[in-house]
Structure 1
Amino acid sequence: MSTVREIVEQLQAAEEPKEWMEELRADSRAGVKAALNRWNRQYEKKKKIREEFDKKCAFDLAYAPFEGALIAGVDEAGRGPLAGPVVSAVVILPKETPELIGLDDSKAIPKEERERLARKIRETAVAYSVHVQSVEKIDEINIYAATRDSMEQAVNALPIQPDIVLADAMTLSVACRTESIIKGDAQSLAIAAASILAKTTRDALMEELHEQYPAYQFAKNAGYGTSEHLNALRLHGPCSHHRTTFEPIKTMLGERGQEIGLSDHDAIDQPISNGHQSKQAAYSK
């Protein structure tokens, strides 16, 4: 009879259910029962993740205008915060992407896993592009128009022309057919991939801004209006990367009759590096 330890090692090495596992159900040892139950839970979890992955792949393929069509997914990060840019990303994935099993909407994935997936996406993508829309542009034309413009610029910067673009809840005007998908990042693999690149890129930018403006805790709040962030705004006023058309910043500036970048806050109001004022990149394997 195998020892509990040997059975545990066998289970750890098994990827799929085996006939010998049925025999374990009759084993009275508590260690064996616990190990088998643990394997079953992990297997069901992996099975569900795989099913969700296959569902996302099928969703994208349903929009393909012909066999082998290049399907691009586009998404953004940063529409709601009080500070920082909007970042848009577009990704064209190959037909087979087993490396991306587990890929989901960026908001549903922990930071470390997002970073790992972002690396995998860059490695496996047929092509991808990232565009960073400045705060100045957001204030100039409004957040909706700035986001749409950013998404369109990201698509136009692709080194390969897609046959169709699936956008997360946005109607775009680009050279190819587009579809606006409500909650697309939860349904489409390509849009989910774009959401990961947009989110990780923006988080990195906000962490850089945190180094320049530590009072606002951008690395922690990503520019969103947390109580800590709002307290810092009341104490220091806004910096040059706050959105002046967003409340409560708009009212705050009006009440004080002040401009962004006040001289008495020079210690926390430094310009962002030129490379991130309006950054756009396109990559192809």
Structure 2
Amino acid sequence: MNTYAFPLICGADEAGRGPIAGPVVAAAVILHPDHPIEGINDSKKLSEKKRNALSEEIKQHALAWAIAQCDADEIDELNILHASLLAMKRAVEALSVQPEKALIDGNRIPVGLAMPAEAIIGGDAHEQCIAAASILAKVERDRQMLEWHEQYPQYNFKQHKAYPTKQHLELIQEHGVCKIHRKSFAPVKRQLERDMGEVTS
């Protein structure tokens, strides 16, 4: 039951559909109307410095927020679309306050949500709560990629964040595939096939 004087609407978004390594990270946020946050926007339109500052502000002033993810193995098992939806569902379910409605960025709604939900294409440009979720998800995923860089410095994850840049693809060819690469993604799959060919030939 909602004991607040305003509707409890959460926004959910993800970061990391395009990379070929690492998790897809999702966040869910219920903003507090009594604590407005200036400058919230689609995370892709913000500088890294601004994203990091807003992430801390959102965590301090939102009514509730949560972060969840699906790792590379789950992405390979489910495919990236279903893994993204599952990560968003996990984030919504992890909120400390139960929302009355969920606004989901994109054109699909995660299956099995306990509340009504609406999918909004380009939602991070139209709904502040979705934009706030996009910021938390992006900042958390980038943070994790810096940690993975410490473990696998040969791939330079800190620079390209596991997107399939020319440099990243060249480093995969040089060093092979590591445990956080998404084996179902075409560039990684091709490298694994090349490596298998070298082993069997």
Identify whether the pair has TM-score above 0.5, normalized to the shorter chain.
yes
What is the CA distance between 1:162 and its match in structure 2? 0.2
Instruction: Report what 2:193 is aligned to.
Output: 254
Deviation per CA, 1:3-38: give whole Å up to 9, x if none: xxxxxxxxxxxxxxxxxxxxxxxxxxxxxxxxxxxx
Q: CA RMSD in A?
A: 1.2
- Choose between structure 1 and 2 for higher RCO, CA contacts under 8 A separated by at least 6 residues: 2
The one-letter amino acid of 1:241's match is: I
Contact 2:24 2:70 in 1 (8 A): yes
Instruction: Report what 2:35 is aligned to.
Output: 97
What is the CA distance between 1:256 and its match in structure 2? 2.1
Larger Rg: 1
Matched residues in 1 for 2:31 and 2:46: separation? 19
Instruction: Report what 1:204 is aligned to.
Output: 143
In structure 1, the gaps of 5 or more residues are 1-66, 259-285
SS of the residue corresponding to residue 109 of structure 2 reads coil
Matched residues in 1 for 2:70 and 2:139: separation? 15
Matched residues in 1 for 2:120 and 2:180: separation? 30
The one-letter amino acid of 2:171's match is: A
Matched residues in 2 for 1:76 and 1:159: separation? 19
The one-letter amino acid of 2:160's match is: N
Instruction: Report what 1:163 is aligned to.
Output: 100
Query: Residue 226 in 1 paired to residue 175 in 2?
Result: no
SS of the residue corresponding to residue 158 of structure 1 reads coil
1:139-218 alignment runs, 5 A limit: 139-169=76-106, 170-173=108-111, 174-218=113-157
Deviation per CA, 1:74-123: give whole Å up to 9, x if none: 0000011011100000000112333x111100010001111110000000
What is the CA distance between 1:156 and its match in structure 2? 1.0
Contact 2:176 2:195 in 1 (8 A): no
Matched residues in 1 for 2:124 and 2:21: separation? 23
* Number of residue pairs matched by the alignment: 191
Contact 2:32 2:63 in 1 (8 A): yes
